[in-house]
Structure 1
Amino acid sequence: MSRLLTGLCFLSLLGLAALQSAQAGVIIGGTRIIYHADKKETSISVKNPEKTAPFLIQSWVETYPEATADKPPFIITPPLFRLDAGKENIVRIVRTGGSLPEDRESVFWANIKSIPASESTDTNRLLISVKTKIKLFYRPSALKENAGSAYKKLAFAVRGDRLVITNPTPYYVSFNSITVGGTPLKAPGMIAPKSVLELPLMKARGGSVSWTAINDFGGVTGAETRQL
Structure 2
Amino acid sequence: MKKTMHKLVCLALLGAAAGAQASVIISGTRVVFPSDEREMTVRLTNEGKEPGLIQVWMDDGDPNASPDKISTPFVLTPPMFRMDPAKGQTVRMLYNGTPLPQDRESLFWFNLLEVAPKPNADSGMNYMQMAFRTRIKVFFRPKALNSARQIEDAFERLQWSLKRDADGGYAVRLDNPTPYHINLIGLALAGADGKALYESEDGGMAEPGKGAEFKLKDMKAPPAGKFTVRYTYLNDYGGSVEKQTELPD
Give the TM-score, by structure 2 length.
0.74
1:218 matched residue in structure 2: 238
Moved more, 155-164 or 144-153: 144-153
> Residue 143 of structure 2 aligns to a residue in which SS?
coil
Answer yes or no: is 1:87 the counterpart of 2:64. Answer: no
Identity, % of aligned pairs? 33
In the TM superposition, what are the counterparts of 1:76-225 in structure 2 within 5 Å?
76-118=76-118, 119-121=120-122, 123=125, 127-146=129-148, 148-149=151-152, 150-160=154-164, 161-181=170-190, 182-201=197-216, 203-204=218-219, 205-206=222-223, 207-225=227-245
Query: 2:37 is paired with a residue of what secondary structure?
Result: coil
- Report SS of the residue matched to 1:177: strand
Q: Deviations over 1:19-58 (max 9, x none)?
A: 56x564311111111111111111111111123x111110
> Gaps spanning 5+ residues in structure 1: where?
1-17
Judged with a 3 Å threshold, the aligned counterparts in structure 2 of structure 1 residues 70 and 198 are, in CA distance, closer, same or farther, namely same
Instruction: Rate the CA distance shift 1:56–1:201 in 2: closer, same or farther, 3 A.
Output: same
Can you give the 5+ residue segments of structure 2 that lack an aligned partner in the other structure?
1-16, 165-169, 191-196
- Cα distance per residue 1:107-163 (max 9 Å; x no partner): 111100111122424635555211001011101112155365234542211244442
Taking structure 1 as the reference length, the TM-score comes to: 0.80
Letter in 2 for 1:103: D
Number of positions where the alignment pairs a residue of Structure 1 with one of Structure 2: 209
Deviations 1:85-124 (A, max 9, x none): 1110001111224331101101111100111122424635
Structure 2 CA distance for partners of 1:141 and 1:121, relative to 1, 3 Å = farther
| CA 1:212–1:137: 2 relative to 1, 3 Å | same
Using the TM superposition, give the Cα deviation of residue 84 of structure 1 relative to its aligned residue in structure 2, in angstroms.
0.9
Over the aligned positions, Cα root-mean-square deviation in angstroms equals 2.5
State the secondary structure of the residue aligned to 1:112.
Answer: strand
| Residue 186 of structure 1, CA deviation | 2.5
SS at match of 1:174: strand
Which residue of the partner structure matches residue 57 of structure 1? 54
Letter in 2 for 1:180: L
